[in-house]
Amino acid sequence: MPKINVYLPDDLAAAVKAAEIPVSAVCQKALADAVRVVTAARKGVAALRDPGFDPGTRPEFTGRLGERMTERLRGAVRLGRQAAGEGPLGTAQLLVGLLDEGENLATRLLPVLGVDAEALREAALDSSVAEPLPDVPGEDGGFWSGMTMSARSAIGASLEASIELGHNYIGCEHLLLGLLADREGAAGQVLLAAGLDAAAVRRAVGSALAGFTQARQSAPATGAAALQQVLDRLEAIEDRLGAAGL
């Protein structure tokens, strides 16, 4: 039987040993569950990229996707629809919604990455990039209703980013990565023109979340104070990486 090494922090390894947890059985079940979830998610992502696919025929996928979305992400999508008005919901509008939501991790990281949020918003509103609609429109009034193919793909890429980062939720930071994934979409072009790239954003997200976890464990600071600690730490990391040419 093949062997997979699992590395644990010293304190967790000691706790597992003291509790006499059957590590092999627990890991096998966890990995089997993860394979099932990830496989189903990736099939759903592939389907979203098919113009002939109607998400309304897969309510179980849409339901699971919705359960993973944070309230801030759902709010950003709602604000994107407001920005779209009577027109289709494209990636430019999703980017505007993300920026208008304002209190999410993605927007808080933008200054650290050297991007002006207001200038980014104006560029998104001014974008004239046309994005095709799916062959089969989503159910009228439903989550997928009026979405361009690029917007649908960005939502799918957000789920992919969440999986790749090992997260059990989809937040605005994942949406930012999803928008960057389509270099031909309106938002992708705006973000690239602003100097952003997926590798830098992914690195920033990972650094910020790691810093937040560390700050929460090591200090009683909460809310804005804890977040500021994270952003200060992230900025220092980004400065070092930039100096190294990474």
The HSE-up count of residue 24 (CA atoms within 13 Å, CB side) is 3
Q: How far is CA 154 from the centre of its chain?
A: 9
Specify the pTM: 0.77
For residue 170, the cross-strand partners are 69
Per-residue pLDDT for the chain (246 aa), expressed as one digit of tens each?
777 777 777 787 787 788 777 877 777 776 676 666 667 667 777 778 888 888 878 888 788 888 999 999 999 999 999 999 999 999 999 999 999 999 899 999 999 899 999 999 999 999 989 999 998 766 666 888 899 999 999 999 999 999 988 888 999 999 999 999 988 899 999 999 999 988 889 988 888 877 655 545 555 445 555 555 555 555 554 554 455 444
Cβ–Cβ < 8 Å for 115, 194? yes
Question: Does domain 38-196 correspond to CATH entry 1.10.1780.10?
Answer: yes
Burial tier of 183 (Cβ tally within 10 Å: 0-12, 13-18, 19+): exposed
To the nearest 10°, the Cα dihedral for 100, 104, 105, 107? 10
> What are 46's two structure tokens?
């592939």
Domains of the chain, residue spans: 38-196
